[in-house]
Amino acid sequence: MPRPPSDAEFGELVHATWPSLYRTAYLLLGDHAEAEDLVQTALAKTYASWAKVRTIEAAPAYARTVLVNTAASWFRKRGWRNERPTSELPEGVAPASDPADRPTLVAALARLAPRQRAVVVLRYYDDLPVAQVAAALDCSEGTVKSQTSDALARLRTLLGEAVVPHTSGARHD
């Protein structure tokens, strides 16, 4: 069995990976407290699974995979709200003509269904290919593509075509 890391070694890993993991978690969840809980959970699972992780060098990628899997699990188990309340836009309205009136990207992400939000973050922030996103979310590649298409259409409505042009969505396919 590989030698588990010392507290000091694992502490260095936590400090090195925390900012990046936190940003992904925040984009996925849209809430600071939940993002912090998710990152702590992912790193705790990484610590507890050291027999699989084996080395400090492999730990960041392992933690990121655990984070995404855990978020997907939360979406399934916690009865995650399909849409998180925001004050920016009522339902079903046309995109604001004045760009200054449009919601921020984070607020717009919060208007997406959890899995749609996840595919957008994983594909366009974490730059994962469709196959990896499908594996992380435990769904088919076809589902990832259809969810991506739906998510981009919704974001286009919320943010305007300048941000999400009609031709979007082919990357990584």
Partner 1 sequence: MTERLSALLHAEADAVDVPPPSTAAVLRRGRAVRRRRRTTGAVAGLVAVGALAGTGLALAPAGDDDAVRPVDPATSSGDTGATFTVGTTLWYDDASRRAVIDDKAVKSIYNTSAGILVRHGENNWSDGGGPQRFSLVTPDGDVRRLGLVTEEVAHSTDPAQPYVAWGDSRDGSLVIVVHHVAADREVARVPVPEADGAYFATLELVGDIAYVRALSEDGGERHLAVDWRTGEVTPRKLEVTDVGGDRGVSGSSIVELDSGAEVWSSPQRNAYLDLSPDGRHVLVQGGGWQNPTFTVVAVDGGSEPLPLDPPAARYSWTAGSELMSVTADAVTTCDPASGACEELPVDLGVTEEELLETLRPTGAVFES
Residues that bind partner 1 (CB under 8 A): 4, 7, 10-11, 14-15, 18-19, 22-24, 26-27, 32, 36-37, 39-41, 43-48, 70, 73, 104-106, 120-121, 124-125, 127, 152, 155, 162-165, 167-169, 171
Nearest Cα to 35, choosing from 23, 44, 45, 47?
A: 23
DSSP category for residue 51: H
What DSSP letter does each residue of 30-49 carry, written as one string? Answer: --HHHHHHHHHHHHHHHHHT
Nearer to partner 1, 86 or 168 (CB): 168
Q: What is the closest distance, in whole angstroms, from the C-beta atom of residue 82 to partner 1 in the complex?
A: 21
Nearer to partner 1, 134 or 152 (CB): 152
Q: What is the closest distance, in whole angstroms, from the C-beta atom of residue 79 to partner 1 in the complex?
A: 16
What contacts 24+ positions apart, CB below 8 Å, involve 151-154? 151/112, 151/116, 151/117, 151/119, 151/120, 152/120, 154/111, 154/112, 154/116
Nearer to partner 1, 27 or 136 (CB): 27
Nearer to partner 1, 134 or 151 (CB): 151
Rounded CA-CA distance 82/114 in Å is 6
Q: What is the closest distance, in whole angstroms, from the C-beta atom of residue 111 to partner 1 in the complex?
A: 14
Q: What is the closest distance, in whole angstroms, from the C-beta atom of residue 115 to partner 1 in the complex?
A: 17
Nearer to partner 1, 81 or 171 (CB): 171
Q: Find the Cα–Cα–Cα–Cα dihedral 131, 82, 167, 156, rounded to 10°.
A: -150
